[in-house]
Amino acid sequence: MPSLKEAHKSKKLTIMLITANDPKRKSWLNVDADSDFPIQNIPFGVFLTKDNVITIGTRIGDYTIDLGALHQLGYFKGIDLTDDVFLQDRLNDFIAHGKGIWRLVRNRIADLFDAENTKLQNKKKDRNKIIFDVADIEMHLPVNVGDYTDFYSSKEHATNVGTMFRDPNNALLPNWLHIPVGYHGRSSSIVPTGKAIHRPYGQSKPAGADNPVYGPSKLVDFELEMAFITSDVNKLGERIDIKEAEDYIFGLVLFNDWSARDIQAWEYVPLGPFLGKSFGSTISPWIVTLDALEPFRTESPKQDPKPFEYLQQTGKMSFDIHLDAFIKPENGDENLVTHSNFKYMYWTMAQQLTHHTSNGCNVRTGDMMGSGTISGPTPDSYGSMLELSWRGTKPLKLSDGTERKFINDNDTVILRGYCKNDKVKIGFGDCAGKLLPAL
């Protein structure tokens, strides 16, 4: 693995074009028109093959590609990769190679699977070692998350919560427009899509009661978020310049920050969220690189008051990513309950990461930063049941006739996200988790 300094040096490669993104490319692998994973996506993940081998891979259409095998067969020749970089059960070592290498690897994969390139296409023996049907593999957690930080960066969400719990006239706390507010979460309970979560036990104080009670949470909620994964950013004591912040962001996943509202409301004063959040957090298993999202850059909301100089940025620093959340009761249909967009975030990823290091705190490879619940401006774009049902006062009706204020036992919550223009769609796949009864 290259040292931090070497990885930084490889940044000079970032002036290289992202040829993988060419919208005219087609793959010799079949890709459905509506797939989240055209050849322009090339996300990174970790999966278990049916031969019980864990490997690092990518995905095109409904095919997964074993990058460990591809590397062993010499298809990454000329790229400065360590021999075992893809023969691992997490992406941390690859991410530590730095942005220049990520870009070279994506470009090479795009070339190998391009319809006009016969190098791999004509080698059946190699193809059989490298390509698996997505139905035959099992996705694992893509990174070993060292530290996980969750921000609170949607102005609409912070305003809704402040309105409900404090004062509609002073919904935002005085610090909110100056600081990308965040807290340190728990990384051990981050799980990939498909892994069920149990309703947590905890303390809460029911409305009107004199004393708290202990038992299963009655108000389990989802939070529609995205999260970004970093490479090594800084040494302890160093700050980073906001202009460089995005160079350290490997990519993004969908993120459901499961929340027990009754536990949260009782415990959060004065130090913030704790057990109401740490019982489980679900992520989508493919990390979509920041490079793949380049065509979908967009303006972030205008910031007033102007942030401190260290947080000032220019250009299009947000991304137009459509976000949907569904509730699927056991044996029932999927019900779309909200549609939001990543671009509604008031504080950008670059601002979050710059702020995170502004006191000299070191951010390491594999660290994960949640956006905070992403709510849009209209009631059908709110990012949690707390807001959608307005603290339980406006239940949502599902297609089977039942109502939801929060999440019921055996409901599955599914988050989906994608970018789309007239040429290409880049998606994230499902971020799905079932809520099981309390243990």
Task: Just list the catalytic residues.
Answer: 157
Q: Which is nearer to Ca ion, 156 or 223 (CB)?
A: 223
- Smallest distance from Ca ion to CB 142, Å: 20
66 part of the interface to Ca ion, by CB under 5 A: no
Q: Which stretch binds Ca ion (CB under 5 A): 150-158, 291-299, 356-364, 388-396?
A: 150-158
Options 66, 93, 257, 430; binder of Ca ion; rule CB under 5 A: 257
Nearer to Ca ion, 113 or 347 (CB): 347
CB of 386 to Ca ion, least distance (A): 11
Q: How far is the CB of 20 from Ca ion (least distance, A)?
A: 32
* Helix intervals (H) in 242-380: 261-267, 290-293, 349-357
Q: Which is nearer to Ca ion, 278 or 348 (CB)?
A: 278
- Residue 84, amino acid: D
Those residues whose C-beta lies under 8 Å from the C-beta of residue 364, and which sit 6 or more positions away, are: 146, 147, 230, 232, 233
Please list every residue from 304 through 323 that binds Ca ion, using CB under 5 A: none
**What is the nearest approach in angstroms of Ca ion to the Cβ of residue 157?**
9
Q: Which span sits near Ca ion by CB under 5 A: 88-96, 104-112, 212-220, 257-265? A: 257-265
Stretch that binds Ca ion, among 119-127, 253-261, 292-300, 421-429 (CB under 5 A): 253-261
Query: Quick one: 75 or 152, whose CB is closer to Ca ion?
Result: 152
Q: Give the separation between CA 349 and CA 308, rounded to whole angstroms.
A: 16
Nearer to Ca ion, 63 or 148 (CB): 148
Q: Per rule CB under 5 A, is residue 150 in the interface with Ca ion?
A: yes
* Sign of the CA dihedral running 199, 387, 368, 35: positive
Which range in 5-13, 77-85, 186-194, 250-258 contacts Ca ion by CB under 5 A? Answer: 250-258
Antiparallel, parallel or unpaired: β 54-60 and 45-48: antiparallel
Q: Where are the beta strands (DSSP E) in 119-216?
A: 131-133, 138-139, 148-151, 182-184, 190-192, 197-198, 201-204, 213-216
Q: Which two tokens stand for residue 29?
A: 């692998």
- Residue 242 beta carbon to Ca ion: minimum distance, rounded to whole angstroms: 23
Who's near 154: CB < 8 A, 6+ residues apart?
344, 345, 346, 371, 372, 373, 374, 375, 383
For residue 298, list its beta bridge partners.
318
Nearer to Ca ion, 150 or 387 (CB): 150
Question: Smaller CB distance to Ca ion: residue 252 or 424?
Answer: 252
Residue whose C-beta lies closest to Ca ion? 257
Beta carbon nearer to Ca ion, 69 or 374? 374
Binding characters for Ca ion, 91-130, by CB under 5 A (x = yes): ----------------------------------------
In degrees to the nearest 10, what's the CA dihedral of 248, 252, 256, 259?
20
Q: Which listed range, 50-58, 223-231, 291-299, 332-340, lies at the site for Ca ion (CB under 5 A)?
A: 223-231
Residue from the set 66, 156, 221, 223 that interacts with Ca ion by CB under 5 A = 223
Tokens representing 400? 């089977």
**Contact call for residues 49 and 41 (beta carbons, < 8 A):** no
Report, in Å, the least distance between residue 349 CB and Ca ion: 15
**Does residue 174 have a cis peptide bond before it, meaning omega lies within 30 degrees of 0?**
no
Query: E-assigned strands of 107-248?
Result: 131-133, 138-139, 148-151, 182-184, 190-192, 197-198, 201-204, 213-216, 220-221, 224-230
Coil, strand or helix at 404 = strand
Identify the CA nearest to 424 among candidates 64, 62, 40.
40
For residue 165, the minimal CB distance to Ca ion (Å) is 15
The stretch among 20-28, 172-180, 199-207, 252-260 that binds Ca ion (CB under 5 A) is 252-260
Backbone angles phi, psi at 311, to 5 degrees: -110, 5
Q: Compute the least distance from the CB of residue 277 to Ca ion, in Å.
A: 7
156 contributes a contact to Ca ion by CB under 5 A: no
Binding site for Ca ion (CB under 5 A): 150, 223, 257
